[in-house]
């Protein structure tokens, strides 16, 4: 296994979009800047979707214009279609990476973006070319890579065929999303071994949700298969707007804690990540579900007499 991994924090986009109420722009900015201070070099901060579809992200342009993060931090935005890309490019100087996406499941893609997979991929090919022409990094995401709640298991070959098409269009990173938490560790190991073999020269990224409590186990299995790029969300925020019942991404602080205890470097300050999640908890006014928010890092307990009494 690799002794070093890269983690992109996706809470400010994937997490906030799933909240029932809009988060104040000032709070979003403060939380993103706290994440940057925790050591993240990649943060997904906005999505150029229609504000009537996801009003929680309607202030994306303002967030991009106002956040103040170190130069080392690469900011990513999610682009649903060419119209969204038109809007994003109006503030092109404020971000570094643009992500395009498709669902491997035909039914999920239709429910998510109201298009067939073929229609989505045709638009993605056009967008990838435009993104690269702007000098931006182009990433791609294949949602429902590990299963669809409407169609069941999605064939590995179908997922990797879509990934290859993204790579041919110019995507230098391809993320595989366990959108509704249907993956298991055995399949995660098989999947990422196949993906890494099929996509030489492409950064292969694991994006697991913890809907059924297997998120960290899946991340460990992906690491065993050779994956070194992960996405997660502080506080275990997030989910998927469709279908209902899909809970959050794996908690960043839990993922970092696991990696650090295994001797795998992340470049992140775990206590600072936990504090950012605690601040998100205060902003949202509800208890978040990550384990590290409750327990803290292991080293906090080593000399705690209450633990050893």
Cα dihedral: 293, 295, 296, 297 (round 10): -140
Catalytic: which of 138, 148, 183, 240?
240
CA angle 37, 41, 43 (to 5 degrees): 90
Burial of 97 (0-12, 13-18, 19+ CB in 10 A): buried
Q: How far apart are CA 224 and CA 264, in angstroms?
A: 12
Residue 240 annotated as catalytic: yes
* Tokens found for residue 19: 């909240």
* Tokens found for residue 194: 């196949």
Could you tell me which of 223, 215, 244, 56 has the C-alpha nearest to residue 150? 244
DSSP string, 257-268: HHHHHTT-B-S-
Chain length of the chain? 309
Question: Active-site positions?
Answer: 240
């Amino acid at each position: 296994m690799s002794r070093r991994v890269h983690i992109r924090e996706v809470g400010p986009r994937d997490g906030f979009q799933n909240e029932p109420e809009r988060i104040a722009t000032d709070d979003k900015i403060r939380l993103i800047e706290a994440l940057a201070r925790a050591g993240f070099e990649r943060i997904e901060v906005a999505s150029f979707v229609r504000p009537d579809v996801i009003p929680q992200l309607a202030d994306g342009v303002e967030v991009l214009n106002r956040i103040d993060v170190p130069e080392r931090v690469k900011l990513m935005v999610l682009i649903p279609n060419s119209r969204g890309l038109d809007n994003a490019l109006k503030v092109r100087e404020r971000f570094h990476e643009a992500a395009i996406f498709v669902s491997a499941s035909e039914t999920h893609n239709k429910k998510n973006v109201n298009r067939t997979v073929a229609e989505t991929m045709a638009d993605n090919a056009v967008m990838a070319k435009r993104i690269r022409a702007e000098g931006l990094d182009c990433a791609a995401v294949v949602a429902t890579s590990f299963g669809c709640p409407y169609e069941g298991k999605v064939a590995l070959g179908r997922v990797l065929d879509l990934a290859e098409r993204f790579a041919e269009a110019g995507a230098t990173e391809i993320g595989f999303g366990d959108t509704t938490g249907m993956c298991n560790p055995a399949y995660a190991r098989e999947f990422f071994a196949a993906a890494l073999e099929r996509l030489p020269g492409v950064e292969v990224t694991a994006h697991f949700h913890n809907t059924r409590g297997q998120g960290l186990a899946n991340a460990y299995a992906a690491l065993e298969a050779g994956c070194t790029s992960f996405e997660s969300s502080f506080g275990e925020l997030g989910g998927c707007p469709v279908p209902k019942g899909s809970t959050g991404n794996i908690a960043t602080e839990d993922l970092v804690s696991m990696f650090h205890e295994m001797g795998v470097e992340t470049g992140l300050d775990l206590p600072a990540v936990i504090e950012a999640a605690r601040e998100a908890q205060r902003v949202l006014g509800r208890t978040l579900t990550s384990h590290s928010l409750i327990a803290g890092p292991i080293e906090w307990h080593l000399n705690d007499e209450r633990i050893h009494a």
